[in-house]
Amino acid sequence: MATVNEQITDSVTQVNTKVVGETPAMAMGNLLMSTSQALGNAAHNATNGQQQANITMQAATVQGINSLMSTGTAVTGRSAEAIIEKG
């Protein structure tokens, strides 16, 4: 049986030790990257939801104002008078 040069076995041992030593750091790096990606997506989704809600609220406000403006002045005056009297 042929013997292997000690320099070869030492080199292979050092590479294996390096790989095993780096594994926890690589795992943590992957975890932090995926966590930051998920948080970025959550922030983007929240921002998008707020923008859509603002558009909906603005449309509802415009519809309300349009409804108020389309009623007759007598109805608006009576409603305002009723609110003031209760106030």
What is the count of structural domains for the chain? 1
Instruction: With beta carbons less than 8 A apart as the criterion, state whether 84 and 76 touch.
Output: no
- Structural domain range at position 58: 48-87
At 40, which amino acid appears?
Answer: G
Q: Residue 64 falls within a domain, yes or no?
A: yes
Given a cut of 90, whether residue 2 has pLDDT beyond it is no
Q: Residue 57 falls within a domain, yes or no?
A: yes
Q: Residue 11 falls within a domain, yes or no?
A: no
Strands (DSSP E) along 12-79, which ranges?
none
The string of pLDDT tens digits covering residues 18-74 is 888 899 999 999 999 999 999 999 999 999 999 999 999 999 999 988 887 887 777
Q: Residue 28 falls within a domain, yes or no?
A: no
> CA 84 from chain center: how many Å?
45
pLDDT of residue 57: 96
Q: Which residue has the tokens 């002045």?
A: 73
Measured on CA atoms in the order 69, 73, 77, 79, is the torsion positive or negative?
A: negative
